[in-house]
Each structure stands twice: as C-alpha cells, then as structure tokens.
Structure 1
Amino acid sequence: MKATRDWFGDILVDVSADNPDVVVVNCDLASAVKTTKFRSTFPERFIEVGIAEANGIGLAAGLAQEGFRPFIASFGHFLTGKFLEIFQSVGLNQSGVVMVGTHAGLAIGKDGPTQMGLRDLALMRTLHNVEVLQPADGHETRQMLEYAVSHRRPTYLRLCRQPQREVHDENYRFRFGYPDVVRPGTGTALFTMGGMVPVVLDALDLLPAGTPRPAVINASSLPLRPSAVREILQPYDQVIVVEDHFLRGGLIDEVGRLVLDLDRHVRFGGWGVHDYGQAGSPGELYERYELDAPRVAGRISAFLASTPADREHR
C-alpha cells in the first residue's frame, strides 16, 4: 500500500538518472509532493521558488523552451488555480512542462475544499495540447513517468495522497489514450481512474449474490482515444463513470461525449462530487459523497435495478 505521490517521488529519481534534462521546480511543498529525494540526489537540478506557483509555471515554461524537461509540483488545487499562467505560458507556447498536481480528490480531508484537487481535470481538459495522466498504482506510475520523459509535450500528472494497493501486475503496459480493462465483466462497463480503481474493485465484491458484475475500466490518460473506447464498449450496453472529482468537466464528461458518438444506444450514468467539497476525515468525506466501497456498491446496484423513468424522477 503506497500513495501514487510516494511512487512518483521514488521513480522520478530513477528516470532522471538517464535524463539529465529533467529538472524540478518546487513550490515550498517538497515533503508533501515527494520531491525531497530528487532534491538530495540532484541538488543542482532542483529549483525552489517558494509559495509562488504562478512564478514557478513561468520559470518552468522558460526552462522547457531552452530544452529542459521541467517538472513543477504542487497541490493540484493550487497548481491548476494558476490557469491563466498555464494557458499562456505552457499551453499556448507548447512548452514541454510536466505539471504535477498532488492531493487529488477528497483524500486531503480536514484541510477542506480550499486545498482539494476537485476541479483540475476540468481545467486541464480544456487545453487541447495538454496530456492528462493519473496512475492507479506503482506499476502505472513508473510507466507513466518513463513515458513523460520520452517526449516534450505539455503534461498534467494527477497524483493521490491516499495509499492504495497494486491493481496491475508486471505484464501491464501503459499506452496513452487507451483505457485498460482491470477486471472483465458482464453487461456494464464501469470507468474510473486513479485512487478510485481499487475502491471500485472492492465495491464489486460487495454486490449482492447474483448481481452481474460490471467490467472495471481504468481510464488513466486523457483525452481517451475514441477508437479504443469504441472497441472496449462493443460487448456492453450500459456505462457507469465514478470519479473523485467534480461532476462536471472530468471523466464523466470525457466518457459521456464518446458514448454519445456511438452508433447505438448505450445507457449512461455516473457520479462524483456534487458540491465544492467539505472538511472532514477522508473516510467521512468518501462516505458522504458515496465514493467509498459500500456506497459505490449501493449506487451500482441501484443503477442496474432502475429504469430510465426511475432516474427521471430522482
């Protein structure tokens, strides 16, 4: 059990050993975003800007224009809060910056909505040339970082605070834009990403006996490739999306747009965080927003049992 931010800190050092153009721009959060190991290993490649994400983004964009592959790391909420600078310095200029946003979703807990990364996917998805990555475990984090240092496109890496188990084995191969089927199922495809993948897998084990088990699809990189989604959805006539993010703008919208483009009717549903978020323990928050395993199981059961008319009256 290890958080993807912890995997990031370890693996960044590994991939940087053979990539001397990798530098880190830090925003006074090295211990929280796990760049301390990089700082001690490559001190000459570590730049501290303090509590100044806007300045850090501009600096990182300039370094990218000079041939470096800069990683700028902060809480996802703070980093994407500087959207104007990201738009103009990174996106518009095609600057090859890796923007690392940690503490995704509700798991930051009692610090509350002023620090929760709940809108970051929506913001980054508006920039057509920014690739979004959110690993589900250590295997995927390693392959995503190897991929990120192999090119120079603008990238947003979304990382979780909560420890989570491995859901892939050594045979897994990450391909950008291609969702992977973590667990096959019948009738329904359930899309999720990041820290919600193990939660959804646990939820399926809690479904009543005889309930058809949905397939679990890990949509870990955005934008999704439409042809890959069409191929995955061929056996399914129902789709559910579960995400640790605002209801609008994130994975629900990404998958929903692709489902609408299918040449057949597919029943669609999804849920995430329906307000700005609250302060509380992570357990309390995931329970409140029905994003813990027992309540995910309940929502799946209700979806499978309901009709379109039922949903209209809820």
Structure 2
Amino acid sequence: MQIEKDVHSNNIIQFAGNHKEVLVMSADLGTSCEVGEFAKKLPERYLSMGIAEQNMMGWAAGLAKEGFRPFLHTFAVFLYRRTLDQLEMSIAYPNLPVALLGFVPGITTPGGITHQSIEDVGIMRTIPNMNIFDCGDTTDVESALEICREINAPIYVRMLRGAVPRLFDPNVPTKFNKGRLLSEGTDIALFSVLCQTTLVKNKVK
C-alpha cells in the first residue's frame, strides 16, 4: 500500500492557483490542518480567524455572498458543535457555497474526548442544504476540493491529514455520489459507502 504525506497541503495550493475566488480560513490551526504552506505562498488569500469559530462562520457567509469561495479549516468537532447556530442560520439556510474542512474526524485525534467528532455526520445530516463527504484515502483527499467547487453549496468534508494511504486509482478522481468498481468476482458482492449527502432545498420565506 502506498502512503503519501502533505496531500491536502499541496492540493489546496494548486487548487487556489487555478481558482482565484478561493480563500482559505483557519481557526488558529493552520499548521495542524495543513495550510501552513498555503499561508506562506498565498498570504493575501489566507485568513487566520483565531480561536473564534462562530465568528469565522459569519465571515465565511459574508465572503460567499460577495462571490468568494471560503474553505474553512479546523478540527472537525469545532465546525459543528461550537458553531451550530451560525452554521445553520448564516450558511446552510441561505445555501451558500462554503466548504467546511474538518480534520481528525471521529476518534482519529490524539486530543481526547474534547476533540472527538463522533456525532458529526448524524448532526450534519439534519441541517438543510448540507452535503457530506467522508475521505477514505489519498485519492479522495485529492478529489475533495473539486467536489466542493462542483457542489456549489454548503459541504462538510471529513478530511484526512498526515500520512494517508492510497487505496484507489489516482487516475480516476472520486465523483460525488457515484459508485466506483474496485474488483470483479462471482462469489460475493461487497459495498462500501464513502460519500453521502443530505441536500435539501429548503427555502425560507
């Protein structure tokens, strides 16, 4: 199995170079969320918002309304638990194209229970207009940013960092909500779901 490092770090720099509307926002976790190099190479498009996730949501909503594409970076648990009201009212109900990149999802964090996002998918599935993408390998990480751009709506990405295995063909990018055949046989059929969505067009009058 091939293991690769700094996948998101390299990908976000290249992606932003191709899409001038992209802004990277961080809740004081730039290095931990692999955007430290981005801040050095594209400082004018990097916003460090401090440990103020609710405020970051409000900024992201305003920037999205002005035509920018904000990509928020912090640990997964801080993207939905601390900011739920701002997330729903400012981003989800207006159906704004804001990408929430949540790192160390589930129990992958060494930070203990305060940093574990064990109910994030369940909560995000209840939010109107919210899409969910769960990365499973390097190919998924490389595909995630383009998926965010294509969705053009609120999306929550369970992002991987550090040393990430390569399980899927790098020449076949992941497509949102589309299956991928890994191998063929005649005895049994195994299905694995990596992508899911709860896209609901909910208009408030």
- The two structures have a TM-score, normalised by structure 2, of 0.86
Q: Distance in 1 between matches of 2:126 and 2:198?
A: 14
**Alignment correspondent of 1:281:** none
Question: Runs of 5+ in structure 2 lacking a partner?
Answer: 200-205
Cα distance, 1:173–1:24 mapped onto 2, change above 3 Å: closer
CA-CA distance at 1:172 after TM superposition: 2.2
**Alignment correspondent of 1:98:** 99
Q: Distance in 1 between matches of 2:65 and 2:187?
A: 48
Percentage identity across aligned positions? 27
**Alignment correspondent of 1:88:** 89
TM-superposition CA deviations, 1:229-255 (whole Å, max 9, x none): xxxxxxxxxxxxxxxxxxxxxxxxxxx
Report SS of the residue matched to 1:142: helix
* Preserved CA contact (<8 Å) 1:183 1:216: no
Q: Which of 1 and 2 has greater Rg?
A: 1
Structure with the bigger percentage of helix:
1
Q: Distance in 2 between matches of 1:48 and 1:224?
A: 29
* Preserved CA contact (<8 Å) 2:141 2:159: no
- The two structures have a TM-score, normalised by structure 1, of 0.58
Report SS of the residue matched to 1:157: strand
Q: How does 1:32-51 map to 2 (within 5 A)?
A: 32-51=32-51
Q: Distance in 2 between matches of 1:179 and 1:75?
A: 28
**Alignment correspondent of 2:77:** 77
**Alignment correspondent of 1:135:** 135
**Alignment correspondent of 1:2:** 4
TM-superposition CA deviations, 1:146-181 (whole Å, max 9, x none): 232245211111113463321111342422112334
Cα distance, 1:184–1:224 mapped onto 2, change above 3 Å: farther
Q: Distance in 1 between matches of 2:67 and 2:119?
A: 30
* Preserved CA contact (<8 Å) 1:25 1:49: yes
**1:24 aligns to 2:24 (yes or no):** yes
**1:117 aligns to 2:117 (yes or no):** yes
TM-superposition CA deviations, 1:30-75 (whole Å, max 9, x none): 0111111211111011111100000001101110011000011110
* Preserved CA contact (<8 Å) 1:57 1:86: yes
AA of the residue aligned to 2:22? V
* Preserved CA contact (<8 Å) 1:75 1:115: yes
Aligned with residue 220 of structure 1, among 160, 176, 194 = 194
Q: Distance in 2 between matches of 1:47 and 1:132?
A: 24
CA-CA distance at 1:102 after TM superposition: 0.3
